[in-house]
Each structure stands twice: as C-alpha cells, then as structure tokens.
Structure 1
C-alpha cells in the first residue's frame, strides 16, 4: 500500500488517519490561520539508531509541520505497518523475526527427472513434538504448454499423498508417506487399483489432461483429487482435505482411505463412475468455481467441533469477468458433528490497485488455521515471487461479528458487490489483523500454501514449489530448481 498515494487520492489530512508521525519544522512558515499551504517536499535526512532511514517518498511540510513517510519510518523502528482498507485504520506492531528455514534436500524421484514436492497445506496433531507436522502434495507435477496453454501431467500416474514431516534445523525430513486410496473392494478407473490419481474428474467442467508434450489426451478420473489443504479432527482421528476440482472437501482415515467426498449440489450425478462416497453439501453455485481456484484452505477448531474452508478466488458469479475484479472471498463454516453447513462469510481481499503489477484475480487465500472457534489465521498472497512480491501475509481474522450470509439472497450475488454495496447492505466481513508480512522477511517463493500456529508466538509455513516443473518457450519441460521449504517465524506479540 502506497501511503502517500492513498493520502493524495483521497485528499485526506494526515491528522485524520488513525496514526501519524509529526515533528515541528522551521523549514516553512504557515501562510495564516485561515489558509492551508500546499505540501512542500523537503530532503531531511532521517536517522534511527545512528543509521540513515531510506524512504521511498520525501518528507513534506504542511503549515509548518513536517510529515514523514509512515511505513519507512515505522519499519526503521522495528515496527510492522498495516493499512486496513475496510476499517480505514493503520496499525503498528512489533515486527516478527525469521527463526529458521528447513529444506527438503533429497526429495524422492518421480520420473523424467522430476522430484517430489508440491506441499499444499499444513497441520499438526495434538501431542506430537513441536517440530512434527502433516502436509500433502497436490495433483502432482503439471504445467501448461503451447499457445493454448494445454494442461500437462508429465507424471500421469502420480498418486495424491499426505506426508508426515519433521523440521530438524536446516533439514526437512519425511517421516511417513501416506498415499490416498479407495475403501477395500473399490477400484479406481485409471489405476485399476485402490489408489487414486491427481487427474481431473470430468469433461467440460475441468481442464483437459494431456501428456508431457501436450499431444495426447489422458483419461479423466472421477475420483481424482487436486489437494490443497489439510486439517485434523481430534474427535474422530480423521484428516479433512481441501480439493480444487469440484470443489470438494474429503474426509480420510489416518491411513489415507477416503471415507467421504463433500461436493456442491448437482455435482454427484456428474461424477458418475466415482467409487468414493459422494455427499452433496455446498450450494449449487459453488460449481461455478474458477478452474484451479476451488477449495484451497481448510482448518478445524481445537475442540474438533467446527471446520472452516476457503475458496481460493471469487466464484465466477455471474461470470469470469466479475470473478476477476471481485475482492470478496468466501469462507464456509461446517458443524462436524452434524456434517452440515452453518455459516458463510466474506473475507475482503487486499486491493490490487494499491500495488504495482498485481491483478485482482491473483489476490488469493491459500490456507487457514484455527486458533479458536471464531478466530483463524488466513494466508493471503499475490502471484509474484522474490523482489516483485508485494503481498505474502498472514492475517488474524475474527468471525464472531461478521455477517453470516449462508442461505441469503446476498450469498448468490456476493462477487458482484463492491465495498460500498456491502456497506449499504449491512454486510460485515471478517476482521483482518496483520500478523506476519513475509515480504519484509525476504520470503523468496511465490506460494505460501500451508500455515500452522505452533504456539502463541510461533508460526510455521511451507511453500508449494510446483514440483519445480516449468516449460520453456519451445514447449520443452524444464526444472526451476525451486526447493520445498519450511519457514518458522517468531512473533513479538502473543497470538492468543
């Protein structure tokens, strides 16, 4: 967020903002009590702790007072700055510190020079050591080739899997690999075994799967899953997984056996031939998810009673263009004991127009983690990496005072409602309190795809390296060398 740009655009006096830094100045004189002078840029060197503070905007003098760039000055003092667009507030907090980075140094071979990776979620099981986690891989190595961006699956027999992992200093270890499988007596249409694939489910609703070169169409798998999130229910010892394809939520045993797959109404008939127990649960318009933008995050509250699940991007309601420009992201709430929906809430994404080179459609939710029955950590990110990245953030969101839209007329039209319309309708999004800005910590990757609060002052995340697969301009498969890593951050203030 460019603070000066915001102030100029809205013609706001800095004194009207929630928090400002001002110092007296003699570089300019007020023109009189009944007049306001234009801002005068001044090149004042600013020092903190003996070091010069580098600022992206010069200080300005207005009516004899000098106004400093808040973000740069606050960060020089070890503060993390957050502008809340919905509440119109600025908050300063003590900045978190990077504690450790653990790398998966020797991932297993999948064939064609491709290695394991693709971590797309993170959770913990109560009672495990603090450095032991569970994560999962998505649908396997894939990419896009040619001018038509055909979706390729160079390792088409990849089996979606859960990993039990351990962060040991700079090393990330795999303690156990759990491949997803159908119940006994069931046979997958593609593998001809109990194991399922990561291939798309159906013609028309999903991308067409191709081989490595984009020349041969592959089979669809009605039981195939593109896994993006993982949560653990202590009450029945099962995992719940978020799937992008339908979108769906999948309940599995600890050994990877699929128990149920929860889908939108109208999807069950389209999944003819599936061997999984299909349950229609979500509103039918969830079938209008943008391809590759289905359920991305899932979490279960510590008491095991409630599940939350997030859609990665706005639904295509009524169309793709609306989705591309909407800031309204959906988070569902489910009563696990009854296995029924009890809530739907708006998470208001960052405004891409406030950043350089970011499209609104690429402002997404990548994961969730429940701190309590009503408070979650939310992973919001852009599509950029390295120096170009601007939004790689973990927010804390409170649902207790947010508007429950489930079953209302607003729910089916949410994507088309800009901020002013939400306010007029009395719709209150979940709150957003910045906890970690990973851009400020030098995070090198595009994706943060798994988050866990280890304790009240420690957060762990993992990246999805997309199996380090890419295609060059000639359509040849190449490897990026991007590693799979876990970053652990130490907070300076308690989460709860």
Structure 2
C-alpha cells in the first residue's frame, strides 16, 4: 500500500512537471512540432476521469489535463495566478455535517437562522462555538425590489452553540443591547434592531407587506462576523451598514462602535445612543450598500483585529467597484484602538469561471492563524452543482504592502493586476487550503469560518432565514433551506 501511495504521489508530481513542460513544447509548435488531439479514455480506480480538455500528443509524448487527473488521484490542484505556480495537496474531506433541526419561531412561518459568522474560543470544547445572525429576515418586494423587514422588531444576536451528533444545539442566546440608561430610537427599549441607519446612504426599510415605510434606526446593525479577544474577554463584531466594527461584552452589551471618519456626526445627529468612535479611514464610507464589513478576526495573542470589506467599494464609483477584484482588509491595534494597516487582497478572476460575475466574488469571513496569517473565506453566488468558488485560502500579510495613508488607498479599486505589479504593490499571499465546492457543499453562502484545531476547519451557511422572495400575490415565501455546519479535515497543518 505504501509503495502505491509513493508511486501515486510521484505520478501526480510528474504530471505537473509534464504539463508545464508540455505548455512550453506546445508554444514551440511553430518551430515544427505539432499538437494532435487524442480520444482515448483515462481511468482511475475503475472510473473514467472526465476532463474539460482532451489529451494531446506533441512530438510523440502524451499530455493530459493536470487538474482532472490530479483530483482523480486524490489531489487538490491549485493554480496561483500571482506567483504563476501550481500546488498539489492531499484532498481535504468532510469529517461531519451538523444541522440546526429545530430552530425557534420568530414570527409567522419564519424561523431562526441566518448564521453569518463563527468563532471557536480557546479552552472551549471542540464542539462548542459562538456564532451570530445578521439583521434578521428580510426580502425584496415587487419590481422595485423594496427592502422589507417582516420581523421589524428582530434583535441582532449571538448564539453559543454545540455541534455534535449531526445536530446544532443552541446553548445560549445573547441579544445585543445598549448600556443601562440608554434607549434605542426605534425599539424604545435597550435592545437594538437590524434596521438601516441613515436615509442618505442606506436602503429604505419597509414592513413585510412592502407597503409601509419603517423608520431608520441609527443604532441598527447588520452583523456579519464575530471574533474574540482573549485579553479582555470581549467579542468584536463586523457590521455592513456603515460599515463598522463593534466591541461587545459577553452579555451582549455594546461597548463601542468604530466607524469611518465623518460618520459619527451623522449618527449622533440621527439620535444614535451607542458610544461611537470615528477612527476608520473615511474612504470606507464609500462601501456599496449591503457590501460593508463582512469578515472579522483577532490574532491569537489578542493584539490585532482584521476586518475585511465584502466586495470592492464604489471608488471612484459603483461601476468601477463592481468590475474590480481588489478587496481591502484593515488591521487595528486593539490596545491603542488605532488602525495600523490596510492591505490588498485580490479576489479570484470571474472570467476564469462559468456563470460568475466579478461583483459576486466576495469575502465572507476571516479566521486568524497568527499575527500575520489568516484564513479567508471567498465565494460566489452560485449553489449546488453551479457553485464554483467556495474556497478557503491561507492569506499571508507579512510581506504585503501597507497601503494605509498612501495615494494608492484612494484609487485601489480601479487598478489592474499589471498596474498593481508596476506600482510595486504586494498583495496578501494566497494559498488554497480547501475547495469546499469540490466536497459537495450545497449552499450558496459559505459564511462563518472557524479553526477547530490544526487539521480541522468549521464552516456554517447563512440560509437567509428561509426567505425566498414573494409570490404573485405579494405573500412572503419561505423555503426549507437548513442551517448546517460542515467540519472539514485538511491534510497539512494549519499554521
């Protein structure tokens, strides 16, 4: 058996080298060599290997597609565009799938769900996690796609959960609230809501029928990520609205909200009761609506927080942002409460895939492995067999260019890959850890991401509370999409 494994590894590596050499040989066809397509089949383990391109003969040697054959032999194959290199690793595998089988009822037929972030605390059992839900059930009504909130009194919340035996059990529900003596403008209580903040820059909120406008809530939150700081036992959450990051105590009390420069004055004028600090770069206020901060994580030593914008921003305009691959990730010194870094993360090129738009290639979550190395959850909008980008990358920031306060920060979205190289900007290094779509992941939203141990990753999906639009009679539709956690084992140690 060991001899076969060694032989298989040698075969895959030889094929990688052969494919690279083959590309060079094919390029020399003009000098007299000729590439001829073949029709013979390739078999592995008694099954025929399906390839997107047929093998070819060049100067008497046969060249086969590396990715298809490598995967058939149990290898994960990665092409790195920036470094122009190929990596082969042992194929990760799904160790377990756990499902939230009995979510609580919110209103009507709507159930709890919408899990958008995930974190595993040091010292907790391997099957215990903290997660959070976003702004609550919401939909798009009518031809104008009015943003509706069928459960307008929904309170953003953190869940402590146990994932074991195929089920997700809620151990504790922690609802977010203001400090004692403070009253939320919309709820008229200390509890916060998931409603938009400002009329000038947010979506217009409507009730579940799509016929009545709701009031804005300057303290409202659309939560997407959760991190834990071991130095002071607090959670840090990411919010899409402003965008912002928030420090929250274990009981759900919001200690402070950190927003882009210039946003504090607007929120206070609108009646915000949260303690607000406007220390983030002003350019972040130019996020595309509903595309603010998505992922957030804290280094294991508690020194640094990283927050990722979901998709490129409207800099200088929305059209440029939607066509860009350039995503921003901020770094904050938690002791000083000061932003100390801004880095470029280059998303996958939508043109390399089928039925994928560049604006839909986004970051969904982060999970820190060390001070300078993070896991990054990158995904598209497709699901099931149509899904192509559901990937966890290892991103190394140790050699990345710090763009904070530089001229590049003002026009980052419009730069091409060639221009980035020309200007000497070094993005975060990317290395594929697991292609989750290859493991049969069925959901559109690969959302929450956490490291369980050196060989295990956990991910959860946001099922959007089961909201599936409106029917022809204007009634809200609810589907049966479940909330699930996938535990994935990887061959190489996470570090």
Aligned residue in 1 for 2:321: 323
Q: Identify if the C-alpha distance between structure 1 residues 168 and 40 changes in structure 2 by more than 3 Å, giving closer, same or farther.
A: same
Q: 1:116 pairs with 105, 112, 117, which one?
A: 112
Q: Identify if the C-alpha distance between structure 1 residues 91 and 193 changes in structure 2 by more than 3 Å, giving closer, same or farther.
A: same
- Give the 3-state SS of the residue equivalent to 2:413 in structure 1: helix
State the 1:19 CA deviation: 4.1
5 Å-filtered alignment, 1:383-402, equals: 383-402=381-400
Q: Give the Cα separation in 2 of the matches to 1:34 and 1:124.
A: 57
Q: Could you give the per-residue CA deviations for residues 258-312 of structure 1, whole angstroms, max 9, x where no partner exists?
A: 0000000110111121000010011111110000100000000000011000000
5 Å-filtered alignment, 1:33-432, equals: 35-271=31-267, 272=269, 273-432=271-430
Q: Could you give the per-residue CA deviations for residues 114-172 of structure 1, whole angstroms, max 9, x where no partner exists?
A: 00000010012211101000000000000111111100000000000000000112011
State the 1:50 CA deviation: 3.5
Q: Identify if the C-alpha distance between structure 1 residues 62 and 228 changes in structure 2 by more than 3 Å, giving closer, same or farther.
A: same
Q: Identify if the C-alpha distance between structure 1 residues 22 and 182 changes in structure 2 by more than 3 Å, giving closer, same or farther.
A: closer
State the 1:35 CA deviation: 3.0
State the 1:22 CA deviation: 8.6
Aligned residue in 1 for 2:482: 483
Q: Give the Cα separation in 2 of the matches to 1:231 and 1:197.
A: 20
- Give the 3-state SS of the residue equivalent to 2:356 in structure 1: coil
Aligned residue in 2 for 1:27: none
Which is richer in helix? Answer: 2
Q: Could you give the per-residue CA deviations for residues 238-262 of structure 1, whole angstroms, max 9, x where no partner exists?
A: 0000000000000010000000000
- Give the 3-state SS of the residue equivalent to 1:285 in structure 2: helix
Q: Give the Cα separation in 1 of the matches to 2:358 and 2:260.
A: 25
- Are the aligned partners of 2:29 and 2:35 in contact in 1 as well (CA < 8 Å)? no
Aligned residues: 475
TM-score by length of 1: 0.93
Q: Could you give the per-residue CA deviations for residues 309-338 of structure 1, whole angstroms, max 9, x where no partner exists?
A: 000011100000000110000000010000
Aligned residue in 2 for 1:5: none
**1:445 equivalenced with 2:420 (yes/no):** no
Q: Give the Cα separation in 2 of the matches to 1:294 and 1:444.
A: 25
Q: Identify if the C-alpha distance between structure 1 residues 401 and 33 changes in structure 2 by more than 3 Å, giving closer, same or farther.
A: closer
Aligned residue in 2 for 1:3: none
Q: Give the Cα separation in 2 of the matches to 1:373 and 1:397.
A: 11
Q: Give the Cα separation in 2 of the matches to 1:203 and 1:33.
A: 62
Structure 2 gap ranges (5+): 1-12
CA RMSD of aligned residues (A): 1.8
Q: Give the Cα separation in 2 of the matches to 1:145 and 1:51.
A: 48
User: Which piece of structure 1 moves more, 61-70 or 219-228?
Assistant: 61-70
State the 1:33 CA deviation: 10
- Are the aligned partners of 2:97 and 2:485 in contact in 1 as well (CA < 8 Å)? yes
Q: Give the Cα separation in 1 of the matches to 2:338 and 2:32.
A: 59
- Are the aligned partners of 2:16 and 2:66 in contact in 1 as well (CA < 8 Å)? no
Q: Give the Cα separation in 2 of the matches to 1:55 and 1:321.
A: 36
Q: Could you give the per-residue CA deviations for residues 424-476 of structure 1, whole angstroms, max 9, x where no partner exists?
A: 00001001110010110000000111111111100000000000101145242
- Are the aligned partners of 1:363 and 1:381 in contact in 2 as well (CA < 8 Å)? yes
Q: Give the Cα separation in 2 of the matches to 1:182 and 1:50.
A: 62
Q: Could you give the per-residue CA deviations for residues 361-383 of structure 1, whole angstroms, max 9, x where no partner exists?
A: 00000000000001000000001
State the 1:44 CA deviation: 1.7
Q: Identify if the C-alpha distance between structure 1 residues 276 and 45 changes in structure 2 by more than 3 Å, giving closer, same or farther.
A: same
- Give the 3-state SS of the residue equivalent to 2:420 in structure 1: helix
- Are the aligned partners of 1:375 and 1:396 in contact in 2 as well (CA < 8 Å)? yes
Q: Identify if the C-alpha distance between structure 1 residues 480 and 38 changes in structure 2 by more than 3 Å, giving closer, same or farther.
A: farther
Q: Could you give the per-residue CA deviations for residues 380-430 of structure 1, whole angstroms, max 9, x where no partner exists?
A: 000111111100000001100010100000011100111011000000100
Q: Give the Cα separation in 2 of the matches to 1:442 and 1:213.
A: 36
Q: Give the Cα separation in 1 of the matches to 2:439 and 2:89.
A: 15
Q: Give the Cα separation in 2 of the matches to 1:21 and 1:325.
A: 32
Q: Give the Cα separation in 2 of the matches to 1:128 and 1:483.
A: 25
Structure 1 gap ranges (5+): 1-14, 25-29
Q: Give the Cα separation in 2 of the matches to 1:34 and 1:149.
A: 55
State the 1:20 CA deviation: 3.9
Aligned residue in 2 for 1:6: none
- Give the 3-state SS of the residue equivalent to 1:185 in structure 2: coil
State the 1:37 CA deviation: 3.2
Q: Could you give the per-residue CA deviations for residues 88-119 of structure 1, whole angstroms, max 9, x where no partner exists?
A: 11211110010000000000000120000000
